[in-house]
Structure 1
Amino acid sequence: MPKTVQIRDIDDEVYAGLLRRAAEEGVTVPELLRREAAKLAARPSIAEWLRRTGRRPSEVTTEQVLRNLDEWRGEWPDAGR
């Protein structure tokens, strides 16, 4: 049986964007949101995807990645100025 979902307190800019997108696709805002909700519900969560693929979350932190990139890139050409 279909369910009704109500979203409150949508910013004007967000609603204007939804109106624009719906108009581009030739549908109403509720139809656009219905389609997007169906896509979202069909996608696995990241945790589910990791379980299904047998992958583990990375233990490498963002800080470690950025530090390594900085080391690999070397000094910026204008760093001494």
Structure 2
Amino acid sequence: MPKTVQIRDIDDDVYAALARRAAEEGISVPELLRREAARLASRPSVAEWLRRTGRRPSQISTADALSSLDDWRGQWPDARR
């Protein structure tokens, strides 16, 4: 049986963006939100995806990743000063 969902306190600019997007697709805002909710519900969460694929979150820090990329790419052209 279909359920009704009510969203309160949507900012005016957010609603305006939803209305523009719905108009571009030739549908109503509720239909746009219905489609997006169905799409969101059909996708696994990140935790579920990690569990399904057997992957684990990376233990590599952002600083280490950026350092490795810098080593691989070499010095930036404007870093010659």
TM-score range, shorter chain: 0.7 to 0.9
The gaps in structure 1 that reach 5 residues or longer are: none
For the aligned residue pairs, the C-alpha RMSD in angstroms reads: 1.5
Tell me the equivalent position of 1:4: 4
Tell me the equivalent position of 2:13: 13
Tell me the equivalent position of 1:50: 50
Higher helix share goes to which structure? 2
The gaps in structure 2 that reach 5 residues or longer are: none
Cα deviation, 1:12-71, whole Å, max 9, x if unaligned, reads: 221111111111111110110011000100111111111112222221122211111122
3-state SS of paired residue (1:55): coil
3-state SS of paired residue (1:78): helix
Q: Percent identity?
A: 77
Structure 1 residue 80 displacement after superposition: 3.6
d(CA) in 2 for partners of 1:5, 1:62: 39
d(CA) in 2 for partners of 1:43, 1:55: 17
Tell me the equivalent position of 2:33: 33
Deviates more, 1:56-65 or 1:29-38: 56-65
Tell me the equivalent position of 2:24: 24
In the comparison of the two structures, how many residue pairs are matched? 81
Tell me the equivalent position of 2:63: 63
Give the TM-score taking structure 1 as reference length. 0.85
d(CA) in 1 for partners of 2:70, 2:10: 40
Return structure 1 stretches of 4+ with deviation > 3 angstroms. Answer: none
Structure 1 residue 9 displacement after superposition: 2.1
